[in-house]
């Protein structure tokens, strides 16, 4: 089963009210809004055959995406926690 990185976000950015997929650097990032029990987060699926060893690569993609968004909108954004999952979103 494909793995994905799930990054919980702390941000002053306007976050979508519904789950959306955006493409950044050739990767699909799924942005999910906060709920009553969970903070906003970003999911990125690992390429087929990649394992836990690829975590740093995908963490960097999400970090760069947030950095670009924060710069563009002039407000902070950061990853406060992350984990790797083999569960589908």
> What are the sequence ranges of the domains in the chain?
9-43+50-76
Question: pLDDT tens for residues 27-79?
Answer: 999 999 999 998 999 999 988 877 777 789 999 999 999 999 999 999 999 99
Measured distance CA(52)–CA(70) in Å, rounded: 28
Q: Which residues contact 75 (CB under 8 A, 6 or more apart)?
A: 11, 12, 13
Question: pLDDT tens for residues 15-39?
Answer: 999 999 999 999 999 999 999 998 9
Q: How many CB atoms lie within 10 A of CB 77?
A: 20
11 beta partners: 77
């Amino acid at each position: 089963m494909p793995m994905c990185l799930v990054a919980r976000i702390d941000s002053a950015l306007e976050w979508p009210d519904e789950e959306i997929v955006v493409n950044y650097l050739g990767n699909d990032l799924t942005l999910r809004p906060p709920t009553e029990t969970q903070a906003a987060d970003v999911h990125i699926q690992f390429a087929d055959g990649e394992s836990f060893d690829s975590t740093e690569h995908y963490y960097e993609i999400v970090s760069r995406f947030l950095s670009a968004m924060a710069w563009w909108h002039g407000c902070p954004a950061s990853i406060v926690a992350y984990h790797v999952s083999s569960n589908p979103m």
